[in-house]
Copies of this chain bind each other. A is one copy, B any other.
């Protein structure tokens, strides 16, 4: 299969995206892969497969590689002797800002470039944790009640400790802290506000059961991964999660009842349907007193959660053949014609 991996982005998760792309290079060996890197200035470069190493980017060597311009249906490399193209299906592997906030989705949609990844609406509802809660509310999915803070209100929390503090719009545990008592609050809020002007506060439930489930839809039917019970310290910190993005070895299926598994799947389906088509996403759930709560949606999971799928390559092939087609209006200037006629000119 021919596939172009789009990675990088101007985001706190830029480096994570590079690690993810390198992992997929290994994991998808046999595919006809190309790599397009988006740097922090939003310039695009074509990266030769042999240069797909972390050091290429940390040393700025990508700047010596061919620059690409986005155009209808493709990314194009203009040169003295004609132009080279990247077309076909893209995989949006830009984690965090740009990739998950709807920017890249809109860009690719606008230029009619086919891609695996969340569409604009799906991005907005998964990137901002506040809107994920709105989605839950309207789709009858349980979620943790929360408080929202913006910089001006700093420090007004009504919830009892311990709480967990998160920037509203970042993934990968960046800026996230657990606060066990009042004295730790200021520092935690400062850390979170460093990354976002909006912060959410949720109850921290010690030892809560956590399960991850990934999946994607093919012709209206969801294909699920295995359910994983993630290992964690108190919670996954950034460095831990960072390493997590380079995972490629399969994990063991969580030891849970069929009933719980089917509850997790039905919640996943409620999240996914009529929203995430075209994407392979991972939902992270909590289970509290036998009830399933959505914790968060990863619309572009680290290394695409390859380790949760028995046949990851086959999964991507299936998905790439079932991407949503955007219906575009046809303009015929009917109204302008009729008005011109009415005006007699």
* Least CB distance, A135 to chain B, in whole angstroms: 8
- CB of B15 within 8 A of CB of A242, answer no
Instruction: Tell whether A72 is near chain B: CB-to-CB under 8 Å.
Output: yes
Cβ of A256 under 8 Å from chain B: no
B120 & A242 in contact (Cβ 8 Å cutoff):
no
Shortest beta-carbon distance from A103 to chain B in Å: 5
B103–A274 contact, CB under 8 A?
A: no
Tell whether, in the assembled complex, residue A330 and residue B18 are in contact, meaning their CB atoms are under 8 Å apart. Answer: no
* Of B40, B54, B131, B331, the contact of A340 (CB 8 Å cutoff): B54
Inter-chain contact A329/B10, CB cutoff 8 Å: yes
A335 contacts B by Cβ under 8 Å: yes
Q: Within the complex, which residue of B72, B329, B335 is in contact with A242, where a contact is CB–CB below 8 Å? A: B335
Judged by a CB distance under 8 angstroms, whether A101 is at the interface is: yes
**Is the Cβ of B110 less than 8 Å from the Cβ of A103?**
yes
Interface residues on A, range: 35 or more
Given A57-B336, A58-B337, A121-B124, A110–B138 Cβ distance below 8 Å?
no
A41 and B72 contacting across the interface, CB-CB below 8 Å: yes
A114 at the interface (CB under 8 A from B): no
> Contact mask A41-78 → B, CB, 8 Å, 1/0?
11100000000001101100000000001111000000
- Residue interface bits A96-119, CB-to-B below 8 A is 1, else 0: 111001111111011110000000
Q: A18 to chain B: which residues have CB within 8 Å?
A: 336
Q: Which 4 A-B pairs have the closest CB atoms?
A: A106-B106, A58-B333, A58-B336, A14-B331
22 A-B residue pairs with CB within 8 Å: A10-B329, A11-B329, A15-B331, A15-B333, A15-B334, A15-B335, A15-B336, A18-B336, A40-B330, A40-B331, A42-B72, A43-B72, A54-B339, A102-B106, A103-B110, A104-B110, A106-B106, A107-B107, A124-B124, A134-B138, A198-B274, A242-B335
Chain A residues within 8 Å of B, Cβ to Cβ: 10-12, 14-16, 18-19, 40-43, 54-55, 57-58, 69-72, 96-98, 101-107, 109-112, 120-121, 124, 128, 131, 134-135, 137-138, 150, 198, 239, 242, 274, 328-331, 333-337, 339-340
